[in-house]
Amino acid sequence: MTTIVSYNINGIRSVLRKDFDKWLAKYNPNIICLQEIKANEEQFNKEIFENLGYTCYVNAAQKAGYSGVAILSKIKPKKVEYGCGNYQIDMEGRLVRLDFKNYSVLSVYFPSGSSGEKRQEFKFMFLDFFQNYINKLKQTIPNLIICGDFNICHKEIDIHNPKRNKNTSGFLIEERNWVTNFLNSGFIDSFRFFHSDGDKYTWWSYRARARQKNLGWRIDYNMVSKSLEKYILDARILSDVVHSDHCPISLKIKS
């Protein structure tokens, strides 16, 4: 069995001050995909994770203290791919991929459109590009596990106040339809594969005690190719783990 975790940590230096490494040692996933590391490779402090048995694969943004993704793995990959070949996206450090024997794992940080029209346009560009990128990738690597912060709630059950947020970036109908079409292109939302209940979120605003009141959004996903369906054993939201405004999400698959 292989355990894969995805976690938007909102800054690697910040979470290390909150004993993230101790939690990681205890939970001990085989692979952990990180988003929003907000650090360059020199600032990532790989030695901490190497001492826990992980090799670190970091794709930082060009802009200091911004965005960036990483994968920490105890399993040696056959190949590592940094970025997706689109300069606008790759300068923001939004994707890293490890190819293993039976599947590939991607850590992806989708853009947020909440800061204004320009970034929302960039988000829509990213969504179109990413779907095409995955369609092409599946021709040579059909078994994909896409882990990350998608910055989109798919359905009303995934957000605490759907009516109030219907015109808010992250819950726009165009974004939600994109998730539907993405799933229809051959993917499984692993959490929904096991859980149909509401009030299960992965991100909470720091304002108005949103986390304590569970006023959240489910925007983090472990998406699994349908070709791997029979290998999916479990998927969970680890909402009691608090280092960030997000929480980790886990996936267990047959090795």
* Whole-number Å distance between alpha carbons of 61 and 208: 31
* Whole-number Å distance between alpha carbons of 135 and 150: 17
133, 125 contact by CB (below 8 A): no
Active site residue 149: yes
Active-site annotation holder among 21, 90, 99, 149: 149
138, two tokens: 């599946």
145, 223 contact by CB (below 8 A): yes
Report, as residue numbers or ranges, the catalytic residues.
149
